[in-house]
Amino acid sequence: GDGDATATATAKKKKMGKKERAKARARALEVGGMSRADARAACGLGATPAPAARKTNAMTTMGTTTGGSGGARRGNAPSPALLTANVKNARSLREVYALRDESAGRMNHIHLSAVWTSVGRMRCDGERASSSDGDGMNDAHERLIAHTIEFVRDERSKMGGRELANVAHGAAKGGGSEELFAALAKAIERHLGGIDRGQELANIAWAFAKADYKCERLFSALARMAERHAERFNSQELTNTCWAFASVGHADARLFKALARCVERRLGEFNTQGLSNTAWGFAKSGFVDVGLFRAMSQKAQERLDDFNAQDFSNLIYAFAKAGQYDAKLFTTLAKHAERHLSALNAQGLTNTVWSFSKCGHLDAELFSKFGRSIERRMTANASEFNSQDIANTAWAFGKACHHDEKLFASLASLSERCLADFNTQDLVNTTWAFAKLGRYDAKLFVAARKSILDHRLNDLDAPNIANIVWTFDQASQLSEALFVALASAAEHQADNFNAQDLVNVAWTFANSGQVNDALFTALARSVKRLMDEFSDEELNNLEWAFTTAGQHSVVKHLKQQRHGANNEKYGPPVDVSKCGRVIIAGGGIGGAAAAVALQSKGFDVIVLESDESFDARAQGYGLTVQAQDAIQAMGVDISQDDAPSTSHYTFDAEGHIIGFFGEAFGAKSRERREVQNSGRFIHIPRQVLRSRIIEAVQPGTIRWNSKLKSFVARENGVSVALTDGTELDGALLVGSDGIFSTVRRHLDLPGDRLNYVGLCVVLGIVDEKIMNVPLAHRRIFETVDGATRLYAMPFTTTSTMWQLSFPCSEETARQYTKDATTLKEEIVRRCAQWHDPVPDLLRNTPLDCMSGYPVYDRELLDPVLLRPTDESKRRVTLIGDAAHPMTPFKAQGANQAMSDAVLLADTLVDGVRKHGPNSGFDFALPIFEQKMLSRSSRMVVGSREKAKEMHSPLALQPARKAQREAEFDMQKTLRVLREKGIGAQNASDPRGLDDLIETEAISSPLDSTSDHTAIDWMEQGGGDSQGKKVVFEDSEADEDAPEAEMKDKKRKTHEFKKEKKAKKAKKEKKEKKEKKEKKE
């Protein structure tokens, strides 16, 4: 019959057709030792039907026929081909092992390959030895391993690449020893040159990764072979290769680059599991090809209905891990998440919610569903969750500012039980999340503090140290022992701190109210080393921290650096007349500032502004100018335009004060006046600030009614086309055309999309002729209810600006933009029951004095994406919102744009000085972009986090922002204010709200026979009950400690606080003396 293995060699000769000749060649290959399937495949024939099932478990011999390759030899011993067939058709592990034992002496490379394939398949399918025959089966498996090791090590054996791949694959599934994989690795290296099939290469890599046998030499060799033959891999082989190399941590850039090209071309062939595992492999390896992830995102969105729970979890984790925050993808994933909740295992649940939080998709409803699901699972089967699952869950909900009472009760209980299993990073992340959400679980923090002191101090890096100080200070658990230990750890690492590490450590230690002289002396040395690397904000924070620490010499240098004492670092003036024209697209604050800064250096500048005139734009909104150095560098004086405020209050919806700060309450800031260079923040209408900057621009610089349409970068310059058909040539194009930048769109940056942050913002301006607002007189106030937030500030000295923000869908926010009447009805409804004057403030705002818009930002822009290697000399760059748009909740957009403008001018001048008018630009632009994006990235992230925090229950926690230089206990003061009924309703008090607080709460607090802790405040209704800040004794003692011991610990605590107070008084006395001497 067709393919009959018993056909004889003495059959009658006749003329054979093409198919018969192929069969004859296949039979000849079988006689030579090749398996029937492989022989027929090599000759272009299909597979033969499987032999009929045997009636017993005895080894089939098929009689004593003497002819043909399928007949028995040496009595009842099967032929090589028949032995292979028997192994392949074995029904159980017992039968496979029996065949191996009975035929060990006759087995060749093909037989062993078949045995391991069967063992791997059966074990993977779940077949294991029963308790009755377990020892015998295990012994048989060990004999198989020993036999294979001996065979593989014998260089005379015929085991080639294909058989080695099969053995490795089977051993990875069925259980192979380390010795076996070591022998296989050496043998594979010998035969690797002959392995060119994708299946074999992928199987080898997969097997060694699955077995967790990391042989660097083998994987390096495999990488080169896989790179060479990647074009021939099918989708499954591409997936397995990506997964394997990522799993063992062998992130070979050349290989992953080759794989990325092949994956993108064959993406339509991947099933959902392959798609998610491939994405996981690229993310895990750290090789992020933006174009590939964009293509995988599109393909995933087309097929999300086909994903099972595990593939869904792997996909979202991969995109979050790779930092590919595709807003459209994550919005779509969020809609599909609920149907997978019940099917996800513990790790899948925690990885998925971690991924949503990591990517910034912080939808409250989504997190509520995950919270319920995870809490139920923890209650039903806590053992499912390991320490990393617990830490990831806590971190995710902390990052999302989403407090779930039941979930965090379960997390606290589980954390306390398995704290020893946490690695240091997971411990830090978990306690940070509890502190961030105001969940100060006593047992957890005491246990965590003890764990850090006993076992983890040597594991801490600078970010961990800073986080622990902040976390335990928030929880009032920063004991003297922990403080000293952390300070010592930081001191020993200080010489290796980078600029950001140093700032974070200095600020958190100073903010804790405890100062360690040895630590700040060590930090001072590093400040001098890193002085030129600090941003303005970092210099400001360092100045405050070192002032608090009494390190006045360092403070002096920081002030000089911050106030421009180093203006000479760019050297004498440089002739830039031969550099060519700089074209700026956009005449807003950033574009006008860039023109002023560049012209002050001598550059030829033209600004293209689409507005017909300066007055074509509405008056806009109010700004808080914090970038004083930038304003001063431009030579612009806006001090007379200030609508000053000296205090800032936060109220709840009922008008209770839950926080306050400002110059009015600072020991050193009360005497500041509204003059230039006073160090004060300046409140100014946007158009007024723009006007002052434009006044400093040379006449004729701004071309009104000129909108950029496109540009073409060329060598040493750029050609710009306007919408009216005009064409301009320049040496450099600067895109300062806002969040919807035309310049940025034409750069076609990979994966560049707007990110909707889930909020609608409404702006309004009310003149005092319409309504007088005493609460906003020389004062900022904000009111929060855990979802909606109102922020009001002086717009001018005779008007008030307010900003109301609340969560809603993007579609709804867009509709509100077009319908002011409906928008006004919605905000009045939301705040109808709020304290005065909020409801009337909203009602009395004219429709033509208010507007709404959806809030967007963009993901952080990598300098490498903005300026790829192959475009390193492109004469186009971005500044302001065109480069790094951010939410308005840190009041940094205009400030960052002005800082960008000054930085651009300074960097270009420095480049021209060093490299001349042509090469100078090419040298300077990458440096400028790196510095700009590094500085602004913290603001982008910070403003996004602030947006979430201000519209969550966290906003209701008391004293969220500390008063610098405060000489009073904020928590106690807030309690006194509540007990005396002082709040928003006292805005019209003749004494003024600031003085009323100073008199009634700060200077004359209520008498009390005992100290009140933060928990007292919470129990009296001073905030949301979910945030309970517990003040513990400075000890590790439990409730059963002897009374004498407890008294001793209390005495030590009292002495420590007394000593701390004495140090503070001594420091203040010293400062006064130094001031007096300086004056004299």
73-128: pLDDT as tens digits: 445 667 888 888 988 998 888 899 999 998 888 889 899 999 999 998 888 776 55
Instruction: Report the relative pairing of strands 647-652 and 581-585 from DSSP bridges.
Output: unpaired
* SS3 category, 756: strand
Mean pLDDT in residue range 952-962: 83
pLDDT of residue 62: 30
Q: How confident is the model at residue 669 (pLDDT cuts 50, 70, 90)?
A: low
pLDDT of residue 320: 93
Q: What is the pLDDT of residues 1012-1031, one digit of tens each?
A: 443 343 334 444 333 333 33
Question: How far is Cα 850 from Cα 846, in angstroms, rounded to an integer?
Answer: 7
Res. 741: pLDDT tops 80 = yes
Q: Which residue has the tokens 């065109």?
A: 882
pLDDT of residue 670: 55
Q: Give, in order, the Cα–Cα distances in Å from 964 to each of 144, 511, 668.
A: 73, 9, 10
pLDDT of residue 1077: 57
For 259, the token pair is 């794989």
Question: How far is Cα 435 from Cα 442, in angstroms, rounded to an integer?
Answer: 11
Question: How far is Cα 293 from Cα 275, in angstroms, rounded to an integer?
Answer: 11
- Comparing 8 with 508, the larger pLDDT belongs to 508
For 504, the token pair is 């974070």
pLDDT of residue 48: 58
Kindly report the number of other CB atoms within 10 A of residue 565's CB atom: 12
Q: How confident is the model at residue 60 (pLDDT cuts 50, 70, 90)?
A: very low
pLDDT of residue 584: 97
Q: Which residue has the tokens 């969560």?
A: 807
Q: For the packed helices 161-174 and 109-124, what is the interaxial angle rounded to 10 degrees?
A: 30
Mean pLDDT in residue range 156-174: 88
711 within 8 A of 876, measured Cβ to Cβ: yes
307 within 8 A of 345, measured Cβ to Cβ: no
Greatest mean pLDDT among 12-21, 99-108, 131-140, 424-433:
424-433
Q: Which amino acid is at 660?
A: F
Of 705, 736, 738, 700, nearest to 722 by C-alpha is 705
CA torsion through residues 1069, 1075, 1078, 1080, sign:
negative
Q: What is the pLDDT of residues 859-883, one digit of tens each?
A: 888 898 899 888 888 999 999 999 9
pLDDT of residue 506: 95
Of 340, 343, 350, nearest to 393 by C-alpha is 350
Instruction: Report phi then psi at 75, rounded to 5.
Output: 75, -120
Q: For the packed helices 424-436 and 387-399, what is the interaxial angle rounded to 10 degrees?
A: 40
For 950, the token pair is 């201000």
pLDDT cut 70: percent of the chain above it: 82
- Residue 170 sits at the vertex; the CA angle it makes with 165 and 175, to the nearest 5 degrees, is 130
Instruction: Report the relative pairing of strands 779-784 and 789-796 from DSSP bridges.
Output: antiparallel
Kindly report the number of other CB atoms within 10 A of residue 132's CB atom: 8
Of 1072, 1057, 963, 1026, nearest to 404 by C-alpha is 1026
Q: What is the pLDDT of residues 492-503, one digit of tens each?
A: 999 999 999 999
Report which DSSP code applies to 613: S
Q: What is the pLDDT of residues 264-276, one digit of tens each?
A: 999 999 999 999 9
- Comparing 761 with 154, the larger pLDDT belongs to 761
Q: For the packed helices 178-191 and 161-174, what is the interaxial angle rounded to 10 degrees?
A: 160
Counts for the chain of helices (H) and strands (E), in that order: 41, 17
- Comparing 999 with 9, the larger pLDDT belongs to 999
Question: How far is Cα 646 from Cα 622, in angstroms, rounded to an integer?
Answer: 16
Res. 446: pLDDT tops 50 = yes
- Residue 454 sits at the vertex; the CA angle it makes with 451 and 456, to the nearest 5 degrees, is 70
Of 427, 434, 433, nearest to 451 by C-alpha is 427
Res. 429: pLDDT tops 90 = yes
603 within 8 A of 905, measured Cβ to Cβ: yes
Mean pLDDT in residue range 450-468: 95
Report which DSSP code applies to 640: G
325 within 8 A of 297, measured Cβ to Cβ: no
Q: How confident is the model at residue 154 (pLDDT cuts 50, 70, 90)?
A: confident
**Rg from Cα positions in the chain:** 36
Least confident of 567-571, 704-708, 753-757: 567-571
Res. 546: pLDDT tops 50 = yes
> What average pLDDT does the chain have?
84
For 61, the token pair is 């011999």
For 568, the token pair is 């000479």
Q: For the packed helices 424-436 and 462-474, what is the interaxial angle rounded to 10 degrees?
A: 40
Of 379, 438, 435, 442, nearest to 411 by C-alpha is 379
Which spans in 623-685 are helix H? 628-634
Report which DSSP code applies to 256: H
Q: How confident is the model at residue 964 (pLDDT cuts 50, 70, 90)?
A: low
Q: Which residue has the tokens 């970068």?
A: 713
Whether omega for the bond prior to residue 846 falls within 30 degrees of 0, making it cis, is no
For 41, the token pair is 């495949």
Which spans in 266-386 are helix H? 272-285, 290-302, 309-321, 327-337, 346-358, 364-380
pLDDT of residue 135: 67
* SS3 category, 853: strand
Mean pLDDT in residue range 6-26: 53
Question: How far is Cα 840 from Cα 858, in angstroms, rounded to an integer?
Answer: 35
Helix (H) or strand (E) holding 885: none
Q: How confident is the model at residue 133 (pLDDT cuts 50, 70, 90)?
A: low
Helix (H) or strand (E) holding 460: none
pLDDT cut 90: percent of the chain above it: 57
Instruction: Report phi then psi at 447, rounded to 5.
Output: -65, -40
Of 151, 64, 66, 139, nearest to 104 by C-alpha is 151
Chain centroid offset of residue 741 CA: 25
Q: What is the pLDDT of residues 603-627, one digit of tens each?
A: 999 999 999 999 887 666 888 887 6
CA torsion through residues 743, 746, 749, 752, sign:
positive
pLDDT of residue 1017: 39
- Residue 937 sits at the vertex; the CA angle it makes with 638 and 253, to the nearest 5 degrees, is 155
Question: How far is Cα 1023 from Cα 785, in angstroms, rounded to an integer?
Answer: 11
For 1038, the token pair is 């439990």
Question: How far is Cα 113 from Cα 111, in angstroms, rounded to an integer?
Answer: 5
Helix (H) or strand (E) holding 78: none
Mean pLDDT in residue range 440-464: 94
Res. 750: pLDDT tops 50 = yes
Res. 189: pLDDT tops 60 = yes
Res. 390: pLDDT tops 90 = yes
Least confident of 368-377, 432-441, 573-582, 1063-1072: 1063-1072
Question: How far is Cα 15 from Cα 19, in angstroms, rounded to an integer?
Answer: 12
pLDDT of residue 193: 79
Res. 680: pLDDT tops 80 = no
Q: How many residues appear in the chain?
A: 1080
Q: How confident is the model at residue 1006 (pLDDT cuts 50, 70, 90)?
A: low
Half-sphere exposure of residue 635, counting CA atoms within 13 Å on the CB side?
A: 11
